[in-house]
Structure 1
């Protein structure tokens, strides 16, 4: 499921961003361009973090911003941004990988989250993704780690 949602067109790599809000905007931009989300979904993710704090930093170095399906999701989708320099979602929350999750309901994305957990469970796997310079490298690592337990 994860490899069906993430592909080279939805993966970006950049050196640094000004702030976490820009990181979310940049990370979500492929989904917006493909009309999988509406612009208001991006603002809803930002508003949610501003209201509730950096709860989207689920594991060190990784944030998974999301909002409600009713906030402007047109199609189940994901995008990923890798930063060479961290952006801070809080004083002690440096993030290098931002994964945008846009779910159309409360269940169809669950298998993708299970796959994502497999990818993010080892700090070395996250570091290997951060070390990638091209989207194909990121995709290859995700495929490798997402299927590791199934081999």
Structure 2
């Protein structure tokens, strides 16, 4: 059953999924586009020399996912979604950033009358570049997010 996005929160399942996509790093590093990153893909306030441990990294991941879920839900508040669709969009927004998510064709398709659910899910498959590079892991992530969005990875 679909519920309004504004009423949904990210599931525990998506926390583990995002952790798997992002991988864990104890020390700050620059990602493929040069953004300082630590833990499970955390970027906010990270600088060279920062360190974390697994417990703090999971706590930061959970906080950040909750924040991204709230931000994504604001963009698509009145769109009815299944939990698995919402989780796929939260994972996508976590990776590309909520401003990019909210301004995307994907969101326009969700807000169409009637919503183009399949078209919105397919839009994720287009986001396989980081800067001018196409990392293999990103294409795999998008394929998995697409399958989740379509209900195949429930």
TM-score class, shorter-chain normalisation, is 0.3 to 0.5
The normalised TM-score by structure 2 is 0.33
Q: Between Structure 1 and Structure 2, which shows a larger proportion of helix residues?
A: 2
Query: Which of structures 1 and 2 has the larger relative contact order (alpha carbons within 8 angstroms, sep 6+)?
Result: 1
Q: Between Structure 1 and Structure 2, which shows a larger proportion of strand residues?
A: 1
The normalised TM-score by structure 1 is 0.33
